[in-house]
Amino acid sequence: MAIVKPFAALRPEPGLASRICELPYDVMSSEEARRIAAGNPLSFLHVSKPEIDLPPATDVHAPEVYAKGRENFQRLIAERALRQDPQPCFYLYRQVMGAHSQTGLVAAASCEDYLKGIIRKHELTRPDKEDDRVRHIETLDSQTGPVFLVYAAKPALDQFVAAKTAEPPSIDFTAGDGVRHTAWVIADTASIRFIEAEFARMPRLYIADGHHRSAAAARVFQKRKGAGESASFLSVIFPHNQIQILPYNRVLKDLNGLSPAQLLEQLARVFDITRPGAATPARKHELGLYLGGQWHTLRIRSPFTAAIDTIDALDVTLLQQHVLEPLFGIADPRTSQRVNFVGGIRGTAELEKLVNRGEYACAFSMFPTSIEDLMTIADAGGIMPPKSTWFEPKLRDAMFCHMI
């Protein structure tokens, strides 16, 4: 059973939400954050990336950076820009990005469930990134960036959410990137009990995005032995059939000594190649290759896709096994400096630009990994290859904070 609890969220004053709430700390550089927050003292980037308020040469992991984040956080609270609800509640959080809409339950998820594997993960974490999130949580005494969780959709919850979101929201704004963010408060006892009971019947939840946040929360829980509210972590939990996964594309620095013609000759042993091709793959086991100013469509031949294991059948795995390692000599894409990754939100035009400018020799556009494959792999205890998924839209920091 999955345990979710209501909590008294620290939330933005509704009229200031559009100025306070920001994209997550890990999708931008310090320079980008400085530019976004310029002239806006309410921007939560002063809390999530507080190095922007210190000299540019400052080590982002220096003690004074975390201290500045706490100072800025306390200032927003003292100014009543952020206010804590008087009682534990659940919340609903809807995001609308173009034609896509997704609505999740905002709740305190269980660190014990994470440690026991009831909350399933599919990625490895890096100790240095965990350490950073631990220090951020402990310095603020708060979790300010939610973990993006997924549950297998249930009609009863769909109907409940539809009824609640027909009511007037507590916060509603459209951010500068065009994504609309809307929140509702669920405070009545009957609704809280209904939600708790529905999730108690779920055998598992899945981490979509936020592996380092959840791992850090579990470490703080263990260190504090569950004191205060540290036994739970901030999460937004979405039904699986509302999730939007974009591709995570690859760009290569060089052709590993091959000419373009030789590369295509080698690829033809594994793929059926159409040229000119499409920039965006139309189905699983289809890739786009941008090379020599032209797109090529690569369709993986069936003998190479007959893997029984779901991980081995992923396009990112097949690309690694049949292209990146044997042809480009890239054994570990996590550490290689010759491959880079471009989130699908940037589009295939970004891949063309990077290659046309001479920064990279070629690019591969991918078909998105499905949420069903992610859940299957997580159920089996598997670890997906690096950079397999890019979730959009991103959850905004400071929409909800969990004080521990």
Q: What is the phi-psi region of residue 183: left when phi exceeds 0, alpha when psi lies from -120 to 50, beta otherwise?
A: beta
State how far the Cα of 204 lies from the Cα of 107, in Å rounded to an integer.
15
Q: Would you state the pLDDT for residue 309?
A: 85
pLDDT digits (tens, 9 = 90+) for 238-277: 999 999 999 999 999 999 999 999 999 999 999 999 999 9
The C-alpha angle with vertex 369 and arms to 368 and 374, in degrees rounded to 5, equals: 155
C-alpha of 290 from chain center: 26
Query: Could you tell me which residues are beta bridge partners of residue 252?
Result: 339, 362
State how far the Cα of 147 lies from the Cα of 145, in Å rounded to an integer.
7
The series of mean pLDDT values per 10 residues for the chain, 404 residues long, is: 97 98 93 96 98 95 97 98 98 98 98 98 92 97 97 98 98 97 98 98 96 97 97 98 96 97 97 96 97 97 85 94 96 92 94 98 97 95 91 97 98
Query: Could you tell me which residues are beta bridge partners of residue 245?
Result: 391
Bond preceding residue 276 cis, omega within 30 of 0: yes
Q: Would you state the pLDDT for residue 386?
A: 85
Hey, what amino acid is at 387?
K
What percent of the chain is helix, strand and coil (3-state, nearest 5)?
Answer: 35, 25, 40
The C-alpha angle with vertex 155 and arms to 152 and 160, in degrees rounded to 5, equals: 110
Give the pairing of strands 147-151 and 232-239: parallel
- Domain map (residue ranges) of the chain: 4-244+392-403, 248-367
DSSP notation for 256-318: TT--HHHHHHHHTTTEEEESS--SS--STTEEEEEETTEEEEEEE-GGGS--SSTTTTSHHHH
First-last CA distance in the chain: 23
Q: Would you state the pLDDT for residue 306?
A: 82
Q: Would you state the pLDDT for residue 374?
A: 96
pLDDT digits (tens, 9 = 90+) for 199-232: 999 999 999 999 999 999 999 999 999 999 999 9
